[in-house]
Amino acid sequence: MSAKDSMAKEYFADNARFADLCNNILYGGREVILPENLKERDTTEVLTALGLDKKTIAMQKMRDIFKNASIKYTGKSYVVLIGVENQSDIHYAIPVKNMFYDVMAYGNQVKETAKKHRKEKDTATSDEFLSGFTKEDKLIPVITITVYLGTKEWDGPRKLSDMFGDVDEELLPFIPDYRINLLAPREITDFTGFRTSIRQLFEVLKNAYDKEKMQEVLQNDEKFSKVDRETVEAINLFAGTDIDIDGKEEVIDMCKAWEDQKNEGRELGREEGRELGERQKIISQIVKKLQKDKSVAEIADDLEEKEEVIAPIYEAALSMKPDYDVEKIYELLEKNKKLA
pLDDT of residue 176: 94
CA 246, CA 250: separation in Å to the nearest integer? 8
Cα angle 213-217-222, degrees, rounded to a multiple of 5: 165
pLDDT of residue 55: 62
**How is 135-150 classified by DSSP, letter by letter?**
SS--PPPEEEEEEE--
CA 238, CA 6: separation in Å to the nearest integer? 12
CA 27, CA 36: separation in Å to the nearest integer? 17
Cα angle 254-5-141, degrees, rounded to a multiple of 5: 105
CA 165, CA 272: separation in Å to the nearest integer? 55
Contact 286, 293 (CB under 8 A): no
CA 273, CA 117: separation in Å to the nearest integer? 79
CA 71, CA 68: separation in Å to the nearest integer? 10
CA distances from 290 to 308, 325, 336 (A): 16, 13, 20
| Distance in Å from the first CA to the final CA of the chain | 37
What is the DSSP code (8-state) at residue 222?
Answer: G
Contact 23, 48 (CB under 8 A): no
Contact 314, 299 (CB under 8 A): yes
Record the pTM: 0.71
- Strands (DSSP E) contained in 150-300 are 181-183, 227-228, 251-252
Choose among 154, 209, 220: nearest CA to 187.
154
Sheet holding 142-148: strands in order across?
38-40, 65-73, 76-87, 142-148, 181-183
If phi > 0 it is left, if psi is from -120 to 50 it is alpha, else beta; for residue 42 that is beta
pLDDT of residue 249: 76
CA 85, CA 334: separation in Å to the nearest integer? 47
CA 327, CA 8: separation in Å to the nearest integer? 47
What does the pLDDT profile of the chain (340 residues) look like in tens digits? 688 889 999 999 999 999 999 999 999 999 999 999 999 988 876 666 555 555 656 667 788 999 999 998 878 899 999 999 999 999 999 999 999 999 999 998 999 999 999 999 998 899 999 999 999 999 999 999 999 999 889 999 999 999 999 999 999 999 999 999 999 999 999 998 999 999 999 998 998 887 778 778 777 777 888 888 899 889 888 988 777 777 677 888 777 766 655 554 444 445 555 666 777 788 888 888 888 888 889 888 888 888 888 898 888 888 888 878 888 888 888 877 765 5
Residue 69 neighbours by CB under 8 Å, 6+ apart: 22, 33, 37, 38, 39, 79, 80, 81, 82
DSSP H or E segment with residue 170: none
Residue 67 neighbours by CB under 8 Å, 6+ apart: 15, 18, 38, 39, 40, 41, 81, 82, 83
SS3 for 242?
coil
pLDDT of residue 162: 95
pLDDT of residue 241: 79
Residue 325 neighbours by CB under 8 Å, 6+ apart: none
